[in-house]
Structure 1
Amino acid sequence: MASFTTILRAFIFALLYLPSTTPCAPKLQELSLPSRGPQTFAFDTKGGGPYTGVSDGRVLKYRGRKVGFVDYAYTSPNRLSFGPLAICDGINDTASGPICGRPFGLGFYYRTGELCIADPFFGLLAVGKKGGLATQLATSAGSIPFRFLDDLEVDQLTGIVYFMDASAVYGLSQIGELISRGDATGRLLKYDPRTRKVTVLLTGLSGPAGVAISKDGTYLLVSEFVSRRIQKYWLKGPRTNKAEVLLTLKGNPDNIKRTTLGDFWVAVTISTPIPRALGQKITGTGTILKTITFSPRFNSTPISEVQEFKEALYLGSLGVDYVGVHKT
């Protein structure tokens, strides 16, 4: 019988390199993209979007069904040298990341309108209201360079950016090795725009993939993809700067996104015995409130994000060329 690692590595190969052919779920709509791999989403202060990063290095903005997605920003300065199309647009190859960039984590700071971006190849960046080339904010924490930046969260009260470095050893093109070796060199990081410094909050994380701040700003929830658990890191109160395991899941959790009411949606991939892509709504105390299976459309590719916005759930995955919209 195939091991969990073997099956999961097959999933990762499929999401990075193979097209999906599974029929759509009845309640699922698709917003077509010009490239693959919408990892995460963001919405601006006017409710515009979704904004998403794709495999060829662009951040795209959805402008409605008549227009679709248009270019908004990019993380690689090489696009200025090569021109707007050149060698990057439409590419789906992780080897092109050092040239074209690969936006993963996205989050607006609503006070300034800036969009913060986590890129596994170009570090932590931000771009202004008009989009274009993002400005690099940080590429390392202490003496350790970022290796695989993933998700991020912006504290709207302070402008502080909380973000994940999935591994200090393995990069985006080495996800299979990261998982099979049970790598636990991931870090939870904090960028303070006032001091422009990066602080390490947690180390020893096993494939950290998602981070979300509570509605009152007292704690963070942090997902660990490899170890299948969610940790709670306290920002305020008697347990400040301490972490505890909040929840252990049956599948592998990816991004976490808070709802307007203060609960959280977690994207979960279950690989055995039957592949399933789930959205699980949880509380800050670790209670699972709701589970939705996005079948059959996402059964053949791991799901990266479930984000609630205006009575719909926006679904991300590295293995598709559309944004899934599940009406609630």
Structure 2
Amino acid sequence: DGPYAGNRQLAGVERVGAQGIHGPEALLLDSEGFLITGLHDGRVIRTSLDGNSLKVLTRTGGRPLGLAFHPDGRLIIADAVKGLLALDTTGHLSTLTTSAGDLPFRFTDDVTVDAAGRYAYFSDASSRWGYGQDPEAIMEHGGDGRLLRYDFETDATEQLLGGLEFANGVALGPDEAYVLVNETGAYRISRYWLKGDKAGTHDIFADNLPGLPDNLSFNGSDRFWVALYAPRNFLLDAFAGQPFVRKMLVRAMHILPKPVERRAFVLGFDPEGRLTANLQDDSRSNYAPITTVREYDEWLYLGSLTRSTMARIPLSQALAKDPR
């Protein structure tokens, strides 16, 4: 019961794009209607919706997790291993930044670019744990994630927010007045103000979420979409206020079971942080876990860190009343 009650709003999604790929964590839809995504093997690919066309745009040599278009045509890539990268229209891949201050990135996670093309806002999930160690990072609850900003004009990188609990998805809000960042390990979305009287300050946009928030996107007008990797974790909740126990659990994680309920789970919020959509599917045939949600032309497009394809569902169908 309640605002996060289970439902089947995401039942019957359509699988789209190339089949048999591994881990299309993030995705973009380009101006010609092709999907762009990064894969587990380091490839960034461009694929038609029917999957009949597939082109490898680049191989990062790492793990591309976040993607954003720059107004000049470049593809900006948050690579968990390699840092913040740029792929130009000729296919040349370059490194933009790998550190802020004296602290190198350990887990570059997601990225968005402002409309003017001046700044890239991106996350470093943890300064202690690297890619593939996200369960340890989240369980340790070390508060070593960061929200960062890269200046395309000066080549400078600055930290906007530190102390985040596994900094993950990033999205700019209306008029780019603020930027949001998901804190996966704290079940919340934090907000950093860029304009107005609150500029330079931060607050909580949404708290006490019913699951682990992964990537985050804004539809450009009235809704943020949040992908929940999984419902809340009983170990995280049980030992929330016991850092010593959590550290011991981190050391034992290689022998502990990792129970993750496979539930398709997406939330929508308006620009004031009010819940506007609760979309789920707990059926055995569901598309889960969902790690990215993007709204394009009345469709919701879904990506997944572990699945072998992408998916989509008409927005009207997803928001229709659950028939059960």
The equivalent position to 1:127 in structure 2, one of 65, 75, 87, is: 87
Q: Does the alignment pair 1:218 with 2:204?
A: no
Which residue of structure 2 aligns with residue 57 of structure 1? 42
Q: How does 1:236-275 map to 2 (within 5 A)?
A: 236-248=195-207, 249-268=209-228, 269-271=230-232, 275=262
1:159 aligns with 2:118: yes
Structure 2 CA distance, aligned partners of 1:272 and 1:203?
Answer: 24
- State the shift of 1:271 in Å: 4.7
Consecutive unaligned residues of structure 1, counting only runs of 5 or more, are 1-23, 76-99
Structure 2 stretches of 5 or more lacking a match? 1-9, 235-260, 316-324
* Aligned counterparts of 2:67 and 2:140: Cα–Cα separation in 1: 28
Report the AA paired with residue 43 of structure 1. Answer: L
Q: Which amino acid aligns with 1:42?
A: L
CA contact (8 A) 1:43 1:51 kept: yes
**Structure 2 CA distance for aligned equivalents of residues 173 and 140 of structure 1:** 20
Match of 1:192 in 2: 151
RMSD: 2.0
Aligned to 1:104: 65
Q: Look up the SS of the partner of 1:238 in the other structure.
A: coil
Q: Deviations over 1:176-235 (max 9, x none)?
A: 211221131000000000000101000000011111001301001111011000111100
- 2:106·2:130 contact (CA, 8 Å) conserved in 1? yes
8 Å contact from structure 2 (residues 80, 107) kept in 1: yes
- What does residue 3 of structure 2 align with? none
2:17 touches 2:51 (CA, 8 Å); kept in 1? no
User: Which residue of structure 1 lines up, in the alignment, with residue 139 of structure 2?
Assistant: 180
Normalising by structure 1, we get a TM-score of 0.80
Q: Distance in 1 between matches of 2:283 and 2:159?
A: 40
Shift of residue 64, structure 1, vs aligned partner: 4.1
d(CA) in 2 for partners of 1:300, 1:107: 23
Flag the 1:184–1:64 CA change in 2: closer, same or farther, 3 A: same
What is the TM-score with the length of structure 2 in the denominator? 0.81
**Count of residue pairs the alignment pairs up:** 278
The residue identity in structure 2 corresponding to 1:283 is: D
Q: Work out the CA distance in 2 between the residues paired with 1:281 and 1:246.
A: 13
The letter for the 1-side match of 2:292 is E
Match of 1:48 among 30, 33, 42: 33
- Equivalent position of 2:25 in the other structure: 39
Contact 1:117-1:125 at 8 Å conserved across structures = yes
Counterparts of 1:130 and 1:183, CA distance in 2: 41
Q: Deviations over 1:106-136 (max 9, x none)?
A: 00012x10000011111111011233x4101
**Corresponding residue of 1:325:** 312
Trace 1:60-99 onto structure 2 (pairs within 5 A).
Answer: 60-65=45-50, 67-75=52-60
In the alignment, the residues of structure 2 paired with residue 258 and residue 151 of structure 1 have an alpha-carbon distance, to the nearest angstrom, of 14
Q: Is the 8 A contact 1:254 1:304 kept in 2?
A: yes
Q: From the superposition, tell whether residues 297 and 118 of structure 1 become closer, same or farther in structure 2 (CA, over 3 Å).
A: farther
Give yes or no for contact 1:282–1:289 (8 Å, CA) kept in 2: yes
CA distance in 1, matches of 2:189, 2:147: 13
2: distance between equivalents of 1:163 and 1:317? 19
Q: Which moved more, 1:121-130 or 1:32-41?
A: 32-41
Question: 1:161 offset after TM fit, Å?
Answer: 0.2
Bigger Cα displacement from structure 2, 161-170 vs 244-253: 244-253
Q: 1:130 to 1:42 in 2, by over 3 A?
A: farther
Contact 2:107 2:126 in 1 (8 A): yes
Change (3 A) 1:295 1:30: farther
Secondary structure of the equivalent of 2:17? Answer: strand
Q: Structure 1 residues 310, 214: CA separation in 2 closer, same or farther (over 3 Å shift)?
A: same
User: Matched residue of 2:129: which SS?
Assistant: coil
SS at 1:179's partner residue? helix
Superposed displacement of residue 277, structure 1: 2.3
Q: In the aligned structure 2, how far is the partner of 1:300 from the partner of 1:292? A: 12
Distance 1:69 1:325, change over 3 A: farther
Query: Per the alignment, do residues 27 and 320 of structure 1 end up closer, same or farther by CA in structure 2, a change over 3 Å counting?
Result: closer
Q: 143-152 or 272-281, which moves further after superposition? A: 272-281
What is the alpha-carbon distance in structure 2 between the residues aligned to residue 140 and residue 239 of structure 1? 27
